[in-house]
Amino acid sequence: MLKNRVFVYLQRGLVAGMILLMAVSAFSMKTYAAEITYDNFDYVAYADTYADLKEAFGYDKDALYQHYINNGIKEGRTAQTTSGETVSGSTEQTTGNSSTCTLICKRSDFLSKSNFDAARYAADYADLAAAFGTNTNKLYNHYVNNGEKEGRKAYSTNERTNAILTIYDTIPTICNDGMTDEMKARAVHDFLANTCQYDVDNYYAGTIPNRSYHPEGPMLYHVAVCQGYAEAYDYFLGLMGIECTICTGRAYNGQSVGAHAWNRVTLNGNYYYVDVTWDDPVSYIPMVRQIYNLCTYEQISQDHFQSGTYDAFK
């Protein structure tokens, strides 16, 4: 898989201007605050309204838009479109403050008796250890029938399953039922880009471990290659009932073409594309990019060439 850091260095350095101009058209969809998009975001007015932001970012549109999406809305700051329409972040926050996030299955659905970590379940809960010892059958039956309802956590002896369980547990911390599907998709993109790094060292050494290609890389080790980012993203959205798939093919970094993986999301009957790997921060741009966060086919097809799809989440 094409590595993130060198890939992005080349892409940003060689074709940054071209990509950015093409990328901004991707934000024709609504962002967290429904009426504000990258295209119509009045970044000058945003900076002029808030002296602290102007001091920190000047009139850097990327930095100001990134602040508004990730922080400004939550802080209740106001932004406006280039046509003068004002949007209050506090209003959007009110619609997204639900304390729950409904998922399409139970946590216990991922745990079978054969991969249930009975020893850990007993160690975590002294009352269960006293009642059942380390009896796998009794501990497993307790979790499935009672433990999950009581808010207890159980884990697997299998890393892949534990990665999925970690995704399950993470979703309510970044998404809720007051958010639209688009908002959830954007939040997952930002979470993965903020918490995972590209497996550069193993890429250079030719020693990429299997876990970096799957959800356990991003979720348990916080290191992955593009396929790992894409599979984790697929599980996040799948658990929330948002149609998503993994695209495989090749991508152009400004100098050469190499194998790559990214995601396609269905929102309101339309396809949008996400490449968390290419939006992951790099050393000289220490913030999550939004260039490939729900962009259109016209945008993604400029440098991503799809040849297949598959689903990690079934």
> How do the domains of the chain map onto residue ranges?
4-111+156-310, 112-155
pLDDT tens, 108-158? Answer: 999 999 999 999 999 999 999 999 999 999 999 999 999 999 999 999 999
Residue 224 has pLDDT above 70, yes or no: yes
Q: Are 199 and 224 in contact (CB under 8 A)?
A: yes
pLDDT tens, 290-302? Answer: 899 999 999 999 9
Return mean pLDDT, the chain: 85
Q: How confident is the model at residue 73 (pLDDT cuts 50, 70, 90)?
A: confident
Arithmetic mean of pLDDT, 57-77: 81
| 3-state SS class at 77 | coil
Arithmetic mean of pLDDT, 178-200: 95
**Which residue, among 240, 130, 140, has the nearest Cα to 185 in the 3D structure?**
240
Region of residue 294 (left: phi > 0; alpha: psi -120 to 50; beta: else): left
Angle at 230 between CA 299 and CA 20, to 5 degrees: 25
Residue with tokens 């934000």: 27
Residue 284 has pLDDT above 70, yes or no: no
Return the pLDDT at 70: 73
Q: What is the pTM of this model?
A: 0.73
Sign of CA dihedral 301, 302, 307, 313: negative
Return the pLDDT at 69: 79
pLDDT tens, 141-154? Answer: 999 999 999 999 99
Higher pLDDT, 186 or 33: 186
Q: Are 268 and 180 in contact (CB under 8 A)?
A: no
**Which residue, among 109, 134, 107, 106, has the nearest Cα to 120 in the 3D structure?**
134
Return the pLDDT at 286: 63
Q: How confident is the model at residue 67 (pLDDT cuts 50, 70, 90)?
A: confident
Where are the alpha helices (H) located in the chain, listed in sequence order?
4-23, 43-49, 51-57, 61-67, 73-75, 89-95, 118-124, 126-132, 136-142, 159-174, 181-195, 200-205, 216, 226-239, 276-279, 297-300
Q: How confident is the model at residue 89 (pLDDT cuts 50, 70, 90)?
A: low
Arithmetic mean of pLDDT, 229-245: 98
